[in-house]
Structure 1
Amino acid sequence: MNTILEKIQKPLVHNVNVEKQLRAFPIYMFNQCVPGHAPKSKNRPQWAGLYTKHVQPGLEINITHEGRAIYAVGKDLIAHMPRHLIMLSGDVPHQIFADSSLNYTRTVICFEHHFLKQIPFVSDLDWFAGKTHISMPLDPDTYIRMNQLIHRILEEFSELKTGWKQMVLSLLSEFMVFLERGFEAHRKNQQVLKRSKGHQLVEECCNYLRENLHEPISLSKMSELFYVSPEHLTRLFSRVKGMSFYQYVQMQRIMESVKIMESRPDLSITDVALSVGYVDSSHFIRVFKKIMGQTPSEYRKNIARTKAAGQ
């Protein structure tokens, strides 16, 4: 059975700023810090979308320095903590949700794929071929070295001294070598992890969830379906996905509702809520606003304005 996710046309909202920056120079890099605020609950993250879902040219690298975030890339939700790196293909719809109860700091590097061919001794990213994204924790030594290179690249962009373009090429070349080494080590660790029964169980649970978001889903029901205790399943989800079972279900439902609203403007908010498993539309609206920073109706109006502006 195809999931609702597979049936819905993906939106193509272009990140105009990145396109403009990459036309001026094939590398665009910046640091971003989003101040947090006091949480309503000390034990529950307050997820807020930093940007609307978008696409852009080239490749994008994000390194989280502080706080917590969830990256929605295509169908996948990837939890990020400090010292985590994600590289993604810009033509895949993606969005970032940060825990607004904490300060969130990251470095973003965008560049044209073909630009790497101009950098001596850098591979043509064969190890990324066929992937929409890779995500991995960085060991402390690699993280420190990458940060040093980022600081020097940003310094070159800021000062624009003689030969700054050549220096940026050289520094980015070194950065990409560390990235490829880190990915090789991460891939070996993942191969060991994927052979574990716990990882396989969580992936089977996630597949079931994506197929049945419109149905009532609880931790106890999932535990019964997969013959495991709720406590054990909770621990496995936290270890493999980096978030709790309920956080994963909630994020999947809200991301699915966004896709439905973008493709089916004729559906009422109540119908959208029901299609992703919320019997109580008021509860759906509260959760949607907490994660997206606006109500479903406000989000739908913004979609209409964006489409009208593009015509």
Structure 2
Amino acid sequence: MPETMRMDHAITYGYRSAGPFHPPAVDGFHSHLQYEIYYFHEGICTYIIGEHSYHLRPGDVLLMHGRTLHRPHPEPDHPYVRSTLHFDPTLLHEYIRPEHIGGLLLPFEQSGNRRISLSREEQPELEQLLAQLAVLPLEEQGNVSFRFILKLCELLSMLASRCQEEQKDSSRAGKELYVQHILDYIETCYMHEITLEQIAEHLHLSRAYITSLFKEWTGMTIFKYLYHRRISQARLLLHYQRELSITEISRLSGFKQLPHFSRVFKEIVGCSPESYRSRSFSAPNVQSH
């Protein structure tokens, strides 16, 4: 079959093209109205899309809406093997129910341009779909082949699912980072008065969001964690700073009121600060051998 199949300007497919890159413009940058799926099989190549530069490795997929100026920079004297599929997204409306189209095109329309780096385990499935597209007729009775469209939708569905997984991972990583910032803030300021407003303002987030996020990730409220951190510090001071009074330890641990400190200490530790210190004094010294 020919290396490149074309159906007017609705769909163009080049499977495992290995020829040199012939830029359509003097500087190599170009744009188009079609969406583009670019798969990098082999070689050394840097791909520029707008202000982003991607150093490609085999198994990388680029999803582009096409309007942003882009161009590859393949390394000369090295193989440059790629598959490229350009398609007019309005084509799907002629073949696919409207409620299914949004999900298939979401990776192009949500972020515009993106790279997906497939693992070695993921690459065979996508490469098989590309190979299956290459043996299907592009045209049937003057129209785009329905079989080609169905296989294209299978490819789009796979890529959309992969993008959703990445988005979930990214969202999870972002949430985890916010929780870590909350923990860092508490670690820095636990000995001082802390309010939800202060933490929210520090992170530029809402009180409601940091409250629900912290509970989701740690299983406890921010203030419960704060009290545990303060009591942990108090236990260290009671054990190692025996010259300090209970009132001083309360203050250094972040409690403004001694009765509040004593009540929280007993709730968490199970005894009063005085009893805890007495036990520490009476505990036998451990000899090292």
Taking structure 2 as the reference length, the TM-score comes to 0.49
Rg larger in structure: 2
Normalised TM-score (structure 1): 0.46
Considering Cα pairs closer than 8 Å and 6+ residues apart, tell me whether 1 or 2 has the greater RCO: 1
